[in-house]
């Protein structure tokens, strides 16, 4: 644990207030979790609106000037308040994933409750971790601050989205139209997790993502595999051969020029990651695996944080129902994605993939491609003084060093803040690996919620 500064005098009563008010904070979160704000399903549009209104009312109670802001899709929540200090923007999202398969939930996904488990108390319900529980950590920290000090700690903009789980179609237009209003010194994003479910972490490196859908067509209609089998080309055979060729025997991606711009991990970051002592055995063991399956030359942490990938996310063709049908299908399809790092150019990788597929097509076969979006890797600047303040605050709260870590996933909002508002972002979150986000029985540890609130209070005390 690093040396830590003495506690600032403005903080102790705030932490005490957070501790004593935890039961009411949990009740407020349960209220919010009862609103089924599933953004991807149009049937829940009014519930999304209701969640936005709930948050606006809560923000008004905290002294914000807050409003539900319409978009083409689900509304945004924008609130401004406070004075002095750094101008911070806080981002979270109030929409949640669908709940299927419902029969795997042991309680109603929108009937949340505090449950005692072998690993401690958890808040059970859809959105408890992703992202309602996480976003409420910041609002509860502000509530405690205000209860103690009578004001918000500094100038603040709260920006809450309702389409994060459905592709954020309104996000960029809204940011462009409201750039002046949304601009701040730094964005805080609370949608990430603890490292190894234990150590506080600030994500400074995000992989990019390029998605492609490819459909191989052979015969112009489905054929009987008895009549034609052996003579007619089978597009599933073509597709499997193409996909099998995406990796060589050492796990490297074979696309021409794929590694252009990947670069080596800076020594300083490599050293930090080494110090994290990532227990890949435990990480893989949790999901029934044991052996790192990526590039043989990479460490396990590099495989998920700093090395690019090629992954088949979906494949289909022919007859996939019960029983058997001796069809020789006309088409076979796959959804393929590439996680990108360093300076890899998503457009160049897309073209390399398409060129590879086209070159691998046998006679009579054609390929159609459908682009599914592309974002380059993200590298957060840690120049703003809030970063070192956050490391200290997090270490003090969690009793473990706070690391700058990578994230194998893509969180486009961080890049959008830079691109559209010229603003750096700091990603801090308190989720654990077993929170089951996007899955049945999603939960958020009461510890994550409680210490998360306290973490923000500690950070704010350092910044104001």
Q: Which of residues 419-458 bind its own copies (CB under 8 A)?
A: 438-439
Q: Which of residues 250-309 bind its own copies (CB under 8 A)?
A: 280, 283-284, 287-295, 298, 300, 303-304, 307-309
Please state, in angstroms and rounded to a whole number, the distance separating the CA atoms of residues 186 and 230: 63
CA distances from 308 to 255, 305, 344 (A): 12, 8, 9
Shortest Å, Cβ 135 to its own copies: 20
**Region from 51-59, 88-96, 177-185, 235-243 binding its own copies, contact rule CB under 8 A:** 235-243
H-only helix segments in 361-445: 385-398, 412-421
Contact assessment for residue 48 and residue 37, using Cβ atoms and an 8 Å cutoff: yes
Count of residues near its own copies by CB under 8 A: 85
Contact assessment for residue 461 and residue 18, using Cβ atoms and an 8 Å cutoff: no
Phi and psi, residue 210, nearest 5°: -130, 125
Q: Of 309 and 455, which CB lies nearer to its own copies in the complex structure? A: 309
Query: Does 225 contact its own copies by CB under 8 A?
Result: yes
Shortest Å, Cβ 374 to its own copies: 11
Shortest Å, Cβ 297 to its own copies: 12
Shortest Å, Cβ 291 to its own copies: 4
Q: Which of 3, 363, 383, 422 binds its own copies (CB under 8 A)?
A: 363
Q: Which of 335, 354, 379, 418 binds its own copies (CB under 8 A)?
A: 335
**Region from 111-119, 203-211, 346-354, 455-463 binding its own copies, contact rule CB under 8 A:** 203-211
| DSSP-derived secondary structure for 10-21 | TTHHHHHHHHHH
Q: Which of 71, 196, 240, 441 binds its own copies (CB under 8 A)?
A: 240
Q: Of 72 and 221, which CB lies nearer to its own copies in the complex structure? A: 221
Q: Which of residues 90-119 bind its own copies (CB under 8 A)?
A: none
Q: Of 4 and 366, which CB lies nearer to its own copies in the complex structure? A: 366
Which pair of tokens denotes residue 343?
A: 């300076």
End-to-end CA distance of the chain: 24
Spell out where 143-241 has E strands: 156-161, 186-189, 201-206, 208-217, 223-224
Q: Which of residues 337-356 bind its own copies (CB under 8 A)?
A: 337, 339
- Collect all residues with Cβ–Cβ distance below 8 Å to 24 and sequence separation of at least 6: none
Which pair of tokens denotes residue 228?
A: 């034609």
| DSSP-derived secondary structure for 22-40 | HHHHHHHHHHHHTS--BSS
Shortest Å, Cβ 334 to its own copies: 8
Q: Of 65 and 224, which CB lies nearer to its own copies in the complex structure? A: 224
Query: Does 327 contact its own copies by CB under 8 A?
Result: yes
Shortest Å, Cβ 210 to its own copies: 11
Q: Which of residues 371-430 bind its own copies (CB under 8 A)?
A: 372-373, 407-410
Spell out where 176-300 has E strands: 186-189, 201-206, 208-217, 223-224
Short-list 225, 255, 414, CA closest to 326 = 225
**Region from 13-21, 57-65, 83-91, 242-250 binding its own copies, contact rule CB under 8 A:** 242-250
Q: Of 226 and 422, which CB lies nearer to its own copies in the complex structure? A: 226
Please state, in angstroms and rounded to a whole number, the distance separating the CA atoms of residues 360 and 358: 5
**Region from 58-66, 77-85, 260-268, 361-369 binding its own copies, contact rule CB under 8 A:** 361-369
Q: Of 77 and 340, which CB lies nearer to its own copies in the complex structure? A: 340
CA angle 168, 170, 175 (to 5 degrees): 105
Q: Of 234 and 455, which CB lies nearer to its own copies in the complex structure? A: 234
For residue 43, give the 3-state DSSP assignment.
Answer: helix
Please state, in angstroms and rounded to a whole number, the distance separating the CA atoms of residues 93 and 420: 18
Shortest Å, Cβ 223 to its own copies: 6
Contact assessment for residue 59 and residue 79, using Cβ atoms and an 8 Å cutoff: yes
Shortest Å, Cβ 401 to its own copies: 22
Query: Does 314 contact its own copies by CB under 8 A?
Result: yes
The helix-helix angle for 12-33 and 446-463 (nearest 10°) equals 130
Query: Does 223 contact its own copies by CB under 8 A?
Result: yes
Q: Which of 209, 403, 428, 463 binds its own copies (CB under 8 A)?
A: 209
């Amino acid at each position: 644990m690093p040396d830590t500064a003495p506690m600032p005098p403005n903080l102790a009563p705030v932490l005490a207030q957070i501790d004593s008010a935890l039961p009411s904070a949990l009740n407020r979160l349960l209220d919010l979790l009862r609103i089924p704000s599933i953004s991807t399903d149009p049937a829940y549009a009014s519930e999304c609106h209701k969640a936005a209104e709930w948050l606006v009312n809560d923000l008004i109670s905290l002294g914000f000037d807050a409003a539900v802001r319409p978009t083409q899709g689900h509304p945004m929540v924008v609130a401004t308040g406070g004075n002095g200090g750094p101008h911070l923007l806080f981002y979270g999202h109030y929409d949640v994933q669908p709940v299927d398969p419902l029969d795997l939930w042991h309680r109603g996904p929108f009937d949340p409750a505090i449950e005692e488990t072998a690993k401690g108390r958890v808040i059970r319900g859809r959105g408890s971790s992703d992202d309602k529980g996480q976003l409420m950590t910041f609002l509860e920290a502000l509530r405690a601050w205000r209860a103690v000090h009578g004001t918000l700690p500094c100038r603040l903009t709260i920006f809450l989205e309702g389409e994060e789980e459905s592709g954020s179609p309104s996000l960029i237009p809204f940011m462009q139209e409201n750039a002046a209003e949304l601009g701040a010194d730094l964005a805080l994003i609370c949608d990430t997790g603890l490292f190894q479910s234990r150590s506080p972490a600030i994500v400074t490196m995000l992989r990019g993502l390029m998605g492609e859908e490819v459909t191989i067509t052979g015969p112009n209609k489905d054929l009987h595999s008895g009549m034609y089998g052996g003579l007619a080309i089978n597009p599933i055979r073509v597709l499997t051969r193409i996909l099998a060729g995406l990796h060589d025997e050492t796990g490297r991606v074979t696309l021409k020029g794929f590694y252009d711009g990947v670069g080596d991990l800076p020594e300083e970051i490599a050293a930090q990651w080494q110090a994290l002592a990532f227990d890949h055995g435990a990480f893989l063991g949790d999901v029934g695996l044991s052996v790192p399956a990526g590039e043989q030359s990479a460490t396990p942490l590099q495989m998920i944080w700093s090395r690019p990938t090629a992954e088949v996310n979906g494949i289909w063709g022919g007859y996939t129902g019960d029983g058997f049908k001796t069809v020789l299908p006309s088409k076979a399809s796959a959804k393929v994605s590439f996680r990108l790092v360093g300076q890899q150019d998503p457009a160049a990788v897309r073209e390399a993939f398409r060129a590879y597929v086209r070159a691998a097509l046998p006679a009579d076969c054609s390929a159609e491609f459908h682009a599914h979006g592309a974002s380059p890797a993200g590298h957060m600047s840690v120049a703003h003084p809030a970063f070192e303040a956050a490391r200290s605050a997090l270490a003090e709260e969690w009793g473990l060093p706070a690391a700058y870590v990578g994230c194998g996933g893509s969180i486009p909002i961080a890049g959008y803040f830079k691109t559209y508002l010229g603003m750096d972002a700091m990603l801090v979150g308190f989720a654990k690996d077993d929170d089951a986000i996007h899955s049945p029985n999603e939960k958020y540890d009461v510890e994550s919620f409680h210490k998360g609130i306290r973490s923000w209070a500690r950070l704010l005390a350092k910044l104001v």
